[in-house]
Amino acid sequence: MQKLTITIDGPAGSGKSSVARRIAEVLGYVYLDSGAMYRALALKALERQVPMDDEARLVALARDTHIELRPPTSEQAATGVKNRVFLDGREVTEAIRTPEVAQAASRLATIAGVRAVLVAEQQRAGAGGGIVMEGRDIGTVVFPQAELKIFLDATPEVRAERRWKEHREKGEAMTVEEVLDEVHERDKRDRERKVSPLVRAADAVLVDNTGMNVEETARLVVMLAREREKEVARAAGKE
Ligand code: DC
């Protein structure tokens, strides 16, 4: 069966990473978390104290940075890690999962030149198909020709609660209200930016998983993927 390119876009806390990882596991596809690339670059910029509005330096930094995503070890997978992230050869899997890095990533993601560098990397990584890539612009910009596009969403309150639970599991003290504010601020910036804003592609399937868990959501997308795999195989046979 020919393997597809599956894109999953949606706002923070919509369950993209957990769902995408699970789908990739069931289908035997590669999973790629594009947000981790923006986060890794943001971490480097914060460490070097590059201001988030210094576009020229941030674009130069992006060009001079090597970000690699790898599957987690079984120990890491058991603790919820979905992609290992290496920044210029140094593992930053945990270091990029802070609210500070998330906000910085959302800010540098507004810069067209930064996006161009990371989008090119993402297109290279997914060129062979058989990939589930998640982010904000994967179905609209990175892989507009993808065979299956999903737009995941849930109410802001449920999305904030999911993020809050993640922080709590890591022992970080944040109130649900603080997380809700962080999610609101980031969503607003991600949706309103001029370049590649978070928007549902016209041909994306909208999945509102407010009342669904990861397994239920993944099962639904896997069903859609199996249908598409058959359609693609049938169309190829007719050529
Ligand atoms: O998915 P995430 O929360 O790890 O992403 C962090 C930030 O990176 C997000 O607020 C916006 C940006 N991002 C983006 O602009 N485009 C993507 N494809 C993925 C993430």
pLDDT at 1: 77
Contact, 61 vs 48, CB < 8 A?
A: yes
CATH number of the domain to which 184 belongs: 3.40.50.300
Which residues share a beta bridge with 4?
A: none
Q: Is the CB of 41 inside a 6 Å radius of any atom of ligand 1?
A: no
In a domain, 233, yes or no: no
Cα separation of 110 and 102, whole Å? 13
Tens of pLDDT along 135-160?
999 999 999 999 999 999 999 999 99
pLDDT along the chain (239 residues), means of 10: 94 95 97 98 98 97 97 91 96 95 96 98 95 98 98 96 88 88 93 96 98 97 97 87
Structural domains in the chain (count)? 1
In a domain, 96, yes or no: yes
Question: Ligand 1 mean position to 27 CA, how many Å?
Answer: 24
Contact, 229 vs 4, CB < 8 A?
A: yes
- The residue whose C-alpha atom lies closest to atom 15 belonging to ligand 1 is 109
pLDDT at 68: 96
Cα separation of 34 and 43, whole Å? 15
Indicate the length of the chain as a whole number: 239
pTM to 2 decimal places: 0.95
pLDDT at 238: 75
pLDDT at 171: 84
In a domain, 238, yes or no: no
Q: Is the CB of 82 inside a 6 Å radius of any atom of ligand 1?
A: no
pLDDT at 174: 87
In a domain, 105, yes or no: yes
For 208, the domain range is 5-228
Cα separation of 35 and 31, whole Å? 12
pLDDT at 169: 86
In a domain, 73, yes or no: yes
In a domain, 239, yes or no: no
pLDDT at 172: 81
In a domain, 123, yes or no: yes
